[in-house]
């Protein structure tokens, strides 16, 4: 296997599939395109296309301590802007943590990319992350569709997500700002938000959202309310209400797990549960090829 092939495989499918030709270089610069180089951190600027806006301070401090002790294990990816000037394509969290750790140089893959390609790189790279909230993912989908002129079907193929998953995320952007902020902050799950999309006008959505947060309603509670079935808030501290609260929690966990697996594997997921609390998760597939695709995703 050639050195260039090894470099590309190390980047992962999501980003490497979009990289520019690694054989080219920009005249007069010190770092070679396609290689890993140690670059002065002061010569790297943040990526203006990065859809990720929230960086948890405590997690950033922990990463900074790790980098100070062990260095950066996974190199950043940057593009050249000119003589000894670079811009992040991916790795902003590592970049910020390295700054906190007081590093003067960081290892980075060096690439050439125009703004359009860089936008796709940054968005696709970030969509593959597990720690983005549903609103950040939805905004990334929206930008890829609008700014990169992709259809939902093309986006589905590019990021290996189902068309229905993309549609469900995009629908979240129709919600009022208060509810979107609640999703970002983790006050409600994506399942709650999806149910609220169908709640009617904006005022009704916001009122039901605040009730959901205050009364700790489950997704099923919201769906029942929308069907006209009133739901009583749990009363503390009776044993019966405690049991109900536990059941509601399990229901939400099941729902979130089903949504996560369906989104991650781009297939229909069923959860079958028995009265004694045991159960099984069923992965649906359409063909041997589809099954192989799912097995490959599970092995990652």
162-203 pLDDT per residue, tens: 888 899 999 999 998 889 989 988 899 988 999 999 888 889
* Residue 205 confidence (pLDDT) above 70: yes
* Residue 155 confidence (pLDDT) above 70: yes
Segments making up each domain of the chain, as ranges:
3-114, 188-233, 236-300
Q: Whole-number mean pLDDT of the chain?
A: 75
* Residue 17 confidence (pLDDT) above 50: no
| Max avg pLDDT among 36-45, 110-119, 261-270 | 36-45
Phi/psi of residue 101, nearest 5 degrees: -75, -10
User: Which of the pair, 183 or 230, is modelled with greater confidence?
Assistant: 183
Confidence of residue 161 (pLDDT cuts 50, 70, 90): confident
Give yes or no: 92 in active site.
Answer: yes
Contact call for residues 297 and 265 (beta carbons, < 8 A): yes
| Max avg pLDDT among 31-40, 157-166, 254-263, 267-276 | 157-166
pTM: 0.50
What pLDDT is recorded for position 197? 92
Sign of CA dihedral 172, 251, 161, 89: positive
How far apart CA 134 and CA 167 sit, in angstroms, is 12
User: Domain 3-114 - what CATH class?
Assistant: alpha beta
Please identify which of the residues 92, 147, 223, 254 carries the catalytic annotation. Answer: 92
DSSP string, the chain: --HHHHHHHHT-HHHHTTPPPTT---TT-SSPTTSEEEEEGGGEE--TT-------HHHHHHHHHHHHHH--SS-EEEEEEETTEEEEEE-HHHHHHHHHHT-SEEEEEEE---HHHHHHHHHHHHHT-SS--HHHHHHHHHHHHHHTT--HHHHHHHHT--HHHHHHHHHHTTS-HHHHHHHHTTSS-HHHHHHHHTS-SHHHHHHHHHHHHHHT--HHHHHHHHTT---PPP-SS-HHHHHHHHHHHHHHHHHHHHHHHHHHHTS-EEEEE-TTS-EEEEE--SSHHHHHHHHHHHT-
Confidence of residue 53 (pLDDT cuts 50, 70, 90): low
What pLDDT is recorded for position 232? 61
């Amino acid at each position: 296997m050639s050195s260039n092939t090894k470099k590309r495989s190390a980047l992962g499918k999501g980003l490497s599939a979009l990289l520019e030709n690694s054989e080219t270089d920009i005249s007069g610069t010190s770092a070679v395109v396609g290689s890993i180089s140690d670059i002065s951190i002061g010569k790297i600027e943040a990526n203006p296309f990065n859809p990720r806006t929230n960086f948890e301070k405590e997690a950033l401090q922990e990463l900074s301590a790790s980098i100070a002790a062990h260095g950066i294990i996974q190199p950043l990816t940057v593009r050249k802007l000119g003589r000894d000037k670079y811009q992040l394509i991916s790795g902003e969290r590592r970049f910020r943590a390295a700054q906190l750790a007081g590093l003067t140089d960081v290892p980075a893959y060096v690439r050439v990319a125009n703004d359009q390609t860089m936008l796709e790189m940054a968005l696709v790279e970030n969509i593959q992350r597990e720690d983005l909230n549903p609103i950040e993912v939805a905004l990334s989908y929206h930008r890829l569709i609008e700014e990169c002129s992709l259809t939902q079907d093309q986006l589905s193929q590019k990021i290996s997500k189902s068309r229905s998953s993309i549609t469900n995320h995009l629908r979240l952007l129709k919600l009022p700002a208060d509810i979107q902020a609640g999703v970002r902050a983790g006050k409600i799950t994506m399942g709650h938000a999806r149910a609220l999309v169908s709640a009617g006008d904006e005022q009704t959505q916001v009122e039901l959202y605040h009730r959901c947060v205050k009364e700790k309603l489950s997704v099923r509670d919201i769906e029942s309310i929308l069907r006209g079935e009133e739901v009583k808030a749990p009363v503390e501290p009776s044993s019966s209400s405690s049991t109900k609260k536990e059941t509601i929690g399990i229901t939400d966990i099941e729902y979130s797990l089903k949504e996560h697996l369906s989104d991650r594997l781009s297939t229909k997921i069923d959860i079958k549960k028995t009265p004694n609390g045991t159960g099984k998760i069923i992965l649906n597939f359409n063909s041997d090829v589809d099954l192989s695709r799912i097995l490959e995703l599970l092995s990652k």
